[in-house]
Amino acid sequence: MTEIHTTATLRSSERVIAGTTVVALSGEIDLLTAQPLSARLDMLTAGLRPDLVLDLRAVSFVDCAGLGVLCRAVNRTAVRGGRLRFVTGNTGFLRILRHAQLGGVFEIHTRLPNALAAKPESGDTSATAG
């Protein structure tokens, strides 16, 4: 049986914790939700040295359009001297990153407190980070 996504929903909430903007996403990041998410992330990464954490633990689906949005956000953040971390333990998402050869591109943590506490110079971008 083939799964067909006809109604994509992506919900988000934002909060600032010790100067870091945490964006919690839930639902699907796909062709239908990629553009509004990209626009929001563009706004959040527009300034100098943006510091963001994307909490993806409640994201149930990511397609190639979604991966493109996440890559764009990482690149925009890096160009502006900032930092973007992901929080997820979803093995399906991590497997997609590996297959797309993006496993080392993102700084990934399994817990929000660890993402907030991680030092930028640690260089730990592995999917097994805390």
> Which domains are seen in the chain, by residue range?
10-120 (3.30.750.24)
- Which burial class, exposed, middle or buried, applies to 69 when counting CB atoms under 10 A from its CB (0-12, 13-18, 19+)? buried
- Percent of the chain whose pLDDT exceeds 70: 86
Q: Exposure string (b/e) for 98-127, b if CB count within 10 Å is 16 or more?
A: eeeeebeebbbbbebeebbebeeeeeeeeb
The structure tokens listed for 107 are: 């700084």
Q: Write the single-letter amino acid at 29.
A: I
Query: What integer pLDDT is reported at residue 128 of this predicted model?
Result: 42
Give tens-digit pLDDT for 71-98. 999 999 999 999 999 999 999 999 999 9
Separation between Cα atoms, residue 99 and residue 85, nearest integer Å: 20
